[in-house]
Amino acid sequence: MKKVKADPKGVLTGSHYLDGDHSLAEGGLAAGCRFFAGYPITPSTETAERFSERIPTVGGVFIQMEDELGSIAALIGASWAGKKVMTVTSGPGFSLMMENIGLACMMETPIVIANVQRGGPSTGLPTLTGQQDMMQARWGSHGDYEIIALSPDSPQECFDLTIEAFNLAEMFRVPTFVMTDECIGHMHEKVVIPPAEEIELVERKWYTGPKEKYLPYKPDKDLVPFMIKAGDGYRFHTTGLTRDERGYPVINAECQDVCVRHLVDKINKNADKIIKLKEEEIDNAEIIVISYGITSRVAIKAVQKARKAGIKVGTLRLITVWPFPEKRIKELAKKIKAFVFPEINCGQVVLEVERCSWGQTQVIHVPHCGGWVHNPDDIFNAIKEAAK
Amino acid sequence: MKKEDQLEEKNPIEDLLRMDRIPHIWCPGCGIGTVVTSFIEALKKSKLDLDKVVVVSGIGCTGRVAGYVKLDSFHTTHGRAVPFATGLKLANPELNVVVFSGDGDIAGIGGNHFIHAARRNMDITIICVNNFNYAMTGGQVAATTPLGANASTAPYGNFEFPFSLPYLADAAGATYIARWTALHLRRVTKSIQEALSRRGFSFIEVITPCVTLYARRNRLGDGLNLLKYYYDNSEIHHGADTRTLDISYQGKLVVGKFVDKEKPTFLDAMNEHLGKVLGDKYVLYGRINDDRD
Ligand SMILES: Cc1ncc(C[n+]2csc(CCOP(=O)(O)OP(=O)(O)O)c2C)c(N)n1
Ligand code: SF4
Ligand SMILES: [Mg+2]
């Protein structure tokens, strides 16, 4: 893995007062994103607007496409031409992107997609928050595959995790999602952007061997194949069809097994290298509150209240949601009385916690259908109930 | 066939084909291979650096072209070849990006992308094999099926008005537009050569009837006879008003070069405009020494 310093041109070093949407754009620019294709949608549009304003001054292209089907297709093309690429959207646009998220997985193409989630289904709540696209982020396109999804809890993390998302996308040649939400997207806070030389970026895994020996999908030791770009004289082929190491279509169950297993293993077997969690006061906890994104900030109020009431509560924040921290949850499930899991949906990521708990501990979900964050008391009551 | 429509010399085309993927999947007598031959001839005659020529296809019988040419080639998803090509071109303006796909792919499911890429004058070349139906999936009715023709999902004959693709391309802003039949080998080659040498959105429609599905279902004969029927019933009319190019069922076919004009491309316009407005702050993007006209 080759690391390089950020290109100072894209880095707006300093202390700023920014909302999450604008921070996503700054994170992308700092990470070296020089191609943005998107389509306006509330509550994510500000990211696209900032890109359109900033990218001409750093040597890149912004294009507003005709729809999100086109945005993501353009992203994959641009990534194969060698650029770091990004788009931003929300629910309805995310749905349209599903088609070519599958193509990006199959072609093993690094792309970054930020989803500033709003309430759904359908047009739902254009201006109000939700965390309802979490399962869609994981498997919304057809077929089997794995992706990476991160969940920031602040505008600062929108910046930090967008850079992280680029690094992971490049490292694993996989679509990587920054799954934020309307609240954080529109929340203004202090965002500190470090000097370029303090921002470490992962360079794409460029192939350097002899041209005739190149195989676009031959896994390296870390399971990730080396990449090349169009125009460099390799005369390579790639397809959305099930393909062999050469990138040639092979339509049978044997090749499918190798190809799909690889797409899944590449992420799952590297899960330890990918996953980031934030744990607090876990050691003596009887109850652990799991959360991600904006809900972590609401849950903390309930946790404080519970601690005051004498309940031993720890917290676990999923900075990485996908791949899911299966090992850690299994480990903790053996030690505690209950997990309490608030999320702004009717029960999505909690299904993974239930699966990993294997019936060894209680899992109490605190649902919310979207439109606003939880009332901390709802979470507090769940903790109290669990502690009984 | 007229002499000028035959390929004069037998250039070996194998070095631009993925011979390790031959035999191809196309039916005997299908015209798609003929169009590929013309394309490769055009590439050979052009002075382009073939390492910089990229082929993008969508899905369909024609969509398989990307898999057979020995160039950087992408077989993408149904309808999305044009925006994929847009990304490639914008990310590396040195590339010559060619979309090679079917009528359903480009003008049906991909119709919106097609008109917008034309509107923006995206500097790419589109070669569209129009076989009047969705062939890959078994001969369903398409946006190009002539009125009255039979298709597997129009078993009583088609009653929807079809698109005239050159007219659509013209209305949307394409700067180079031609139509030929697959048997106009040299003319197709010449048009592709011209299109590759133009900056801007170039569109070439090649009428290539699907022998296995469309022709059989409509009892129109087979193989070369069928291709010849279209060839013989075509009239060359360069510069024809694109409003007059409707294709009727087994009627006369107007072919030729209809549009060949200059207009700033997306990137030219972007550089020009942002350079003017932003002055020194603007970082010129991808301006290349382009020896094309
Ligand atoms: C999203 C999606 N819908 C439908 C299909 C099925 N499909 C495959 S090829 C095709 C039609 C292709 O027609 P055309 O583009 O005209 O190409 P041809 O086979 O006629 O050359 C369809 C509908 C698909 N692959 N993807
Ligand atoms: S089905 Fe039709 S278009 Fe497809 S290969 Fe056969 S003849 Fe050609
Ligand atoms: Mg067709």
pLDDT at B1 over 70: no
Higher pLDDT, B226 or A114: A114
Q: By 3-state DSSP, what share of chain B in percent is helix, strand and coil, each rounded to 5?
A: 40, 15, 45
Residues with CB under 6 A from ligand 1: B 59-62, 78, 102-105, 129, 131, 133-137, 142
Strand locations in chain B (E)? 53-57, 72-75, 96-102, 125-130, 176-181, 202-207, 234-236, 253-260
Q: Structure tokens of A349?
A: 């990521």
Q: Whose CA is nearest to atom 2 of ligand 1?
A: B78
- Phi/psi at A128 (nearest 5 deg)? -120, 155
- CB-based contact A137:A115 (threshold 8 Å): yes
Pick the closest to residue B137 from B204, B62, B33, B215 (CA basis): B62
Q: Which two tokens stand for residue B219?
A: 């009892």
What's the number of CA atoms in the CB half-sphere (13 Å) around residue B140?
10
Q: Is the dihedral of CA B48, B51, B57, B61 positive or negative?
A: positive
CATH number for A278-387 (one of 3.30.470.10, 3.40.50.920, 3.40.50.410, 1.10.10.10): it is 3.40.50.920
Q: Is the pLDDT of residue B223 over 90?
A: no
Query: Which pLDDT value is given to residue A152?
Result: 98
Distance (Å, rounded) from C-alpha A366 to C-alpha B30? Answer: 61
Of residues A388 and B54, the one with the higher pLDDT is B54
CB distance B74–A37 less than 8 Å? no
pLDDT at A80 (0 to 100): 98
Q: Please, what is the Cα angle at A179 between A178 and A182, to 5 degrees?
A: 120
For residue B24, the chain A residue with the least C-alpha distance is A249
Considering only A261-270, B75-84, B209-218, which range has the smallest mean pLDDT?
B209-218
How many residues are there in chain A? Answer: 388
Query: What is the pLDDT, as a whole number, of residue B225?
Result: 83
CATH superfamily of A2-203: Thiamin diphosphate (ThDP)-binding fold, Pyr/PP domains (3.40.50.970)
Evaluate: CB of B30 within 6 angstroms of ligand 2: yes
Tens place of pLDDT for every residue, chain A, 388 residues? 899 999 999 999 999 999 999 999 999 999 999 999 999 999 999 999 999 999 999 999 999 999 999 999 999 999 999 999 999 999 999 999 999 999 999 999 999 999 999 999 999 999 999 999 999 999 999 999 999 999 999 999 999 999 999 999 999 999 999 999 999 999 999 999 999 999 999 999 999 999 999 999 999 999 999 999 999 999 999 999 999 999 999 999 999 999 999 999 999 999 999 999 999 999 999 999 999 999 999 999 999 999 999 999 999 999 999 999 999 999 999 999 999 999 999 999 999 999 999 999 999 999 999 999 999 999 999 999 999 9
Contacts of A230 in chain B (CB under 8 A): 54, 72, 74, 88, 92, 95
Q: Is A278-387 in the same CATH topology as A2-203?
A: yes
Q: What is the per-residue pLDDT across B249-292, written as a single tens digit (0 to 9) for each?
A: 999 999 999 999 999 999 999 999 999 999 999 999 986 556 56
**Beta carbons within 10 angstroms of residue A276's beta carbon:** 12
Token readout for B240 is 């024809």
With a 6 A CB cut-off, is B133 part of the ligand 2 pocket?
no
Q: Which residues touch A285 (CB under 8 Å, ≥6 apart)?
A: A312, A313, A314, A336
B5: pLDDT strictly greater than 80: no
Q: In the prediction, which pLDDT does A217 show?
A: 98
Q: Which domains, and CATH codes, for chain B?
A: 12-262 (3.40.50.970), 265-293 (no CATH)
pLDDT at B3: 63
8 Å CB contact between B167 and B245: yes
Ordered by start, the domain boundaries in chain A are: 2-203, 278-387
- ipTM for this model: 0.98
Mean pLDDT over B74-86 rounds to 98
Spell out which residues of chain B touch residue A37, defining contact as CB-CB under 8 Å: 83, 86-87
Q: Which two tokens stand for residue B146?
A: 């002539």
**Per the CB < 8 Å rule, is B51 touching A75?**
no
